[in-house]
Chains A and B, each alone.
Chain A
């Protein structure tokens, strides 16, 4: 199968790649882009661990082909923040103990990011709905919900300080 040339933005940086048409986005991210933070849990679109943001929308990277990303903007967990530059959502997960083994966490962060971009002050029911497509076997979800609520607060406060959209 001939490989296809694609161009996309990965965590803010322009990238070009040659990719076989059948390669899943999740495999492309992990293997070709060498970004291991996107985790593959079920490979059939249920668990949500492989969620990434494509043009700001949380998608299952195991249910997309990499070639579908031509021209798109991709954000993986590596694009949220690094060791000394944790994103407010990552900080909130840390503070509220929103992760245990951490395998589902990148997908949770993507789901939370999508929610908070649209709904800056979500109710608990809205948070549950937003992460209902992400399975976590460790936490029982409660501290994830608390983390997202805390992240919402942090992001709202940051918005007030900067008077700019975050």
Chain B
């Protein structure tokens, strides 16, 4: 280990439930608890929320990428029958303050633009009316006079912008929001000692999650309490009142956030503070409850959830024997017009930037660029999907330059099973793993050797067939230092270090286990996994577990589903709650059985005397007696009536970043591993890529529910296929977003998915989480782009095509083939 990591001491494990064979419920593909109500149309999504007296809002959005608002005339709109009010940014600012920002120093943002717009789709006025039809009629009558300003579209050119082209001239002299450099370990010395440096310029273009449900809010202002009741499809409802209370000028305690079933997030609904502040402010101004649901166009252009948009100049230092020594890059990231999370997506990538390989040091310069586009937010991978792709591109490049087999080169440099916990140069650790076993299983499932023979045969026929392999990390269970650890040391911002998850659990007098979650459902399976874990730990029947959701006022510390954390984290809360309930059940049960607590155990939903068959009391009987028959127990608070507890579980393994950022500490240590292998055929005439075969093997530690994990891998892989082959936000030179609709932003349909996808699992349990569970919510998208890119490049190897940018849509790939052909002709 490099000396720069000496101060980063790995804390001891707090694991209580060891991974083990023979579990009853953990590991079973039980049918999801959530599904019956969803399947029958009774899920309760945000647009299903109806509040008495509720009005609807429609927005007036900017048609310009960058413009001053000279004037807004709302008079005609106000005359439309059924309109309750028409409001501008200045009106909204009478009741709300600017949006919160994790960037430090912050980039100011208003929920509704004042004086200036900075991207197409930014809201400049809103109509509140009796229904959405009327609101949209009126919105069309709002007249805005604009003074158009120069638009920044290109990531490099935006850095050079001056004068009116600067987005936030009051706060920053340029469109550079952050420029920080890091050296983790002896980067310079390692590069100087290297035999060879592999260099590539790599481009990852903008897209976003585009869940099928857009974002929405129903907000009510309570003038008597001075607070709001808000339904919103944010993932973060337990945490968000504290963050937005200031913007709404109310105490967080007067902000009641009510969770709803969320129609897909993939990160895109993690925060959504702007739409909440906007809708709440409108409700206060209009004096009626207001519903605002983004339409698809608004979701594309204004939902603050665009994905990474990066340009890398990357170098990999290697020795002639193929061993990797060091890596470094400069990365420019087009964050759009604002910077809500700072460069958290780059902090995230530091969790696994060196991949599954032994690389002794790593250096980075990160530059956050502001442009006239909707700002970035999270999208499945939160930045790590890009560095996975960069790492794998560099390995393929190294293999090519060294004349090595890409798979062998990977195996040569992989961390070995006996090296865990393994600390990478940034300071994060990989808790456990067996990359070789994952690779071996993938190789077998995919039948790589046969595929290589098939590729040779196909090439001999003149077909463009190739295979690609990716071996990638799948970090899970984030610690929040990733949000701020790359900020300037002088202005680190809000240096948050807590990411807890909690539940409350109560055995009611009927014997049912009532559980309250402090986290919404976004398409993950929170009710199912909690049911399985509690049934396991408390020996109850899953049918006796009843799940509900807290609102923000009745909840407890929690963060919600994001960063592949929920299952592993809530398992910790379930174990804590189970330990407390067990202790209580034993105390009361033992008294009822006239035994000592140490003489009884939990057995099939009973408190039973150890070693005796018929000496037992059911949880129902104990809970009933403890709830209603206080005089059956001794005096003393240990026999306070009822059978309930609240349990909060903190991150199992994190450390602070080094004060001088020699390392970033441990912040994302529960790592899975993935190997994707894919065979493709490219039609060189059209640039169309056909997936011929696909195998994905994931190691997510102990699996709670194989079928739901499989669903995550499949879905993430579909996202990754879209990212690679078809999805890109296209802007013209004026900053117009030219394809913000489902017809032109091409997400995979059932036709684009491989027909013979093979899914495999390896289970290397974490030594740090309960039962050894690791997260697995993002993995497909963390591996598919690398494997597919590699396969496409392999298919076109004979034609000399190199892929340095995603996506490779058919026209783009056709262009690359044409250029390569022309270069070959020129060379002759």
Residues of A within 8 A of B (CB): 20, 22-23, 27, 30, 35-44, 46-47, 49, 76-78, 80-83, 86, 90, 93-95, 97, 99-106, 109, 124, 127-129, 131-145
Given contacts A37-B40, A93-B39, contact A103 B714 (CB under 8 A): no
Given contacts A135-B747, A137-B210, A142-B753, contact A97 B32 (CB under 8 A): yes
Of the candidates A43, A78, A103, A138, which one forms a contact with B295 in the assembled complex, judged by CB atoms under 8 Å apart? Answer: A43
Q: With the chains together, A86 CA to B35 CA distance in Å?
A: 11
Bits for B27-56, please: 1 = Cβ < 8 Å to A, else 0: 001011011111111111101100000000
B718 at the interface (CB under 8 A from A): yes
Instruction: Please name the residue on chain A nearest to B265 by beta carbon.
Output: A101
**Inter-chain contacts of A94 with B (CB < 8 A):** 31-32, 35-36, 39
**Inter-chain contacts of A40 with B (CB < 8 A):** 47
Residues of chain B in range 774-825 having any CB-CB distance to chain A below 8 Å: 780
A102 touches B39 (CB 8 A): yes
B40 touches A103 (CB 8 A): no
A103 touches B296 (CB 8 A): no
Bits for B210-237, please: 1 = Cβ < 8 Å to A, else 0: 1111100000000000000000000000
Q: With the chains together, A76 CA to B42 CA distance in Å?
A: 12
Q: With the chains together, A38 CA to B220 CA distance in Å?
A: 25
**Inter-chain contacts of A47 with B (CB < 8 A):** 212, 742
User: Can you give 26 A-B contacts (C-beta < 8 A)?
Assistant: A22-B133, A35-B41, A41-B212, A41-B296, A41-B742, A42-B741, A47-B212, A77-B40, A78-B40, A94-B31, A97-B29, A97-B707, A100-B525, A102-B263, A103-B211, A109-B39, A129-B751, A135-B742, A135-B749, A137-B719, A138-B523, A139-B714, A140-B716, A140-B757, A141-B718, A141-B750
A137 touches B715 (CB 8 A): yes
A42 touches B296 (CB 8 A): yes
B631 at the interface (CB under 8 A from A): no
Most chain-B Cβ atoms within 10 A of its Cβ — which of A43, A103, A132, A133?
A103
Residues of B within 8 A of A (CB): 29, 31-32, 34-45, 47-48, 132-133, 209-214, 261-266, 295-296, 521-525, 707-708, 710-712, 714-719, 741-743, 747-751, 753, 755, 757, 780
**Inter-chain contacts of B753 with A (CB < 8 A):** 140-142
**Inter-chain contacts of B750 with A (CB < 8 A):** 127-128, 131-132, 134, 141, 144-145
| Extra pairs beyond A82-B40, A144-B750 (4, CB < 8 Å) | A44-B741, A101-B265, A139-B714, A143-B707
B212 touches A140 (CB 8 A): no
Instruction: Please name the residue on chain A nearest to B49 by beta carbon.
Output: A36
Of the candidates A39, A46, A76, A101, which one forms a contact with B743 in the assembled complex, judged by CB atoms under 8 Å apart? Answer: A46
Of the candidates A27, A128, A136, A142, which one forms a contact with B212 in the assembled complex, judged by CB atoms under 8 Å apart? Answer: A136
Q: With the chains together, A90 CA to B751 CA distance in Å?
A: 23
Output the least CB separation between A82 and chain B (Å).
6
Of the candidates B209, B213, B525, which one forms a contact with A39 in the assembled complex, judged by CB atoms under 8 Å apart? Answer: B213
Output the least CB separation between B180 and chain A (Å).
34
Q: With the chains together, A35 CA to B50 CA distance in Å?
A: 12
Q: With the chains together, A67 CA to B10 CA distance in Å?
A: 67
Output the least CB separation between A104 and chain B (Å).
5
Q: With the chains together, A20 CA to B31 CA distance in Å?
A: 43
**Inter-chain contacts of B261 with A (CB < 8 A):** 101-102
Given contacts A46-B742, A47-B212, A128-B750, contact A83 B523 (CB under 8 A): no
Q: With the chains together, A83 CA to B47 CA distance in Å?
A: 21
